[in-house]
Amino acid sequence: MSKKRLFTGLQPSGALHIGNYFGALKPFMEQCEEYDSFLMVADYHALTTVRSPEELRENTHSVVLDYLAVGVDPEEVVLFRQSEMAWIFECLVTVPFLQQAHSYKDKVARGMEATAGLFNYPMFMAADILLYDTAVVPVGKDQKQHIEYAREAGTKFNNAYGDTFKMPEALILDSVEMVLGTDGQKMSKSYKNTIPLFGTKDEVSHAIMSIVTDSEGKRPENVFAIHKLFRAESELDVLYEKNEGNYKALKEALIEDIEKLFSPMRDRREKFAKDAGAVSDILEKGAERARAIAGEKMRDVRKKIGIR
């Protein structure tokens, strides 16, 4: 029997952060050998925030290096885009349904321009997932609703035209759910509250030192919440008790733990970065594989909907 598909993507809208790592990349890496695995650079999605072509090109390159750095086997990395399918889903779902999307509402509430692209984004994402007969999608909790939207879009299509799309499941790690940023809100590239995944030691230290700590309670909860991604809570309980009130020492311990996990990956990233052609070769090969699968599905879809 052929393996089921594992699929996720990250937007190249800025430097990846530890929320992206723990929410999506780590679960992806933990599962990828068991599945036929696809990892995408959601470059078109990043158009909802990035306007500079140079920046988009650079970010895309950089995200691929990040994938390689965390240990992705280049044979698995795919880059592709299929807007046509998104359009078909958009004709099946309603505006009030899309208006309920938390991610859209949050972003607009934070002052982002309510473009049609931002609004339709969940159907674009549904297209990514469904075109590849995806079984499992490792994502952070903030994306849970988008996976439900993909199921809804697929169901509407299947009901209208006959069984075509498989229903994907979200894979959300209980231990992670939502990584909080330096301000105690969801860590996000769009919110300037990130701890960079592959920043320099100085950048990481600066971010950690800027974590907002409340003086109520015994331990700095915002620091602890991030720290427990890196070390067992039982060990942390001891450490935090010993250093009660000494927020600086606790933050320094966190910086050290972050370094321990990510510095070997950073070294690997630097090695790949020196090989000028590596990233474009990998993306080209991935695109070929992705296109073959998506192309076949699109042919089936077009026939069913009455186009060609």
Q: Which residues contribute to the site for ligand ADP (CB under 6 A)?
A: 10-11, 13, 19-20, 22-24, 139-140, 142-143, 176, 178-179, 186-190
From the CB of 82, what's the least distance to ligand TRP, in Å? 11
Q: How far apart (Å, rounded) are the C-alpha atoms in residues 204 and 259?
A: 9
Instruction: Give the one entry of ligand TRP, ligand ADP, none that residue 137 binds, where binding means its C-beta sits below a cut-off of 5 to 8 angstroms depending on kind.
Output: ligand TRP
> Residue 268 CA to chain centroid, in angstroms?
21
Q: Give whichever of 143 and 194 is closer to ligand TRP, judged by the CB atom.
A: 143
Residue 128's binding partner among ligand TRP, ligand ADP, none (Cβ under 5 to 8 angstroms by kind) is: ligand TRP
For ligand ADP, the closer of residues 18 and 298 by Cβ is 18
Closest to ligand TRP by CB, 14 vs 220, is 14
Q: Footprint of ligand TRP on residues 24-83 (CB under 6 A)?
A: 42, 45
Is 304 among the residues known to form the active site?
no
Nearer to ligand TRP among residue 83 and residue 246 (C-beta)? 83
Is 201 a known active-site residue?
no
Sign of CA dihedral 223, 224, 225, 230: positive
The site partner of 23 among ligand TRP, ligand ADP, none (C-beta below 5 to 8 Å per kind) is: ligand ADP
Q: Count CB-CB contacts under 10 A for residue 205.
A: 17
Select the residue whose beta carbon is closest to ligand ADP and give its number: 23
Residue 297 annotated in active site: no
CB of 227 to ligand ADP, least distance (A): 15
Catalytic residue among 189, 248, 285, 303: 189
- Among 122-130, 157-165, 204-212, 259-267, the segment contacting ligand TRP (CB under 6 A): 122-130
State the pairing for strand pair 134-138/169-171.
parallel
Residue 179 touches which member of ligand ADP, ligand TRP, none, C-beta under 5-8 Å by kind = ligand ADP
Give contact residues for ligand TRP (rule: CB under 6 A).
Answer: 7-11, 42, 45, 125, 128-129, 137, 139, 143, 146
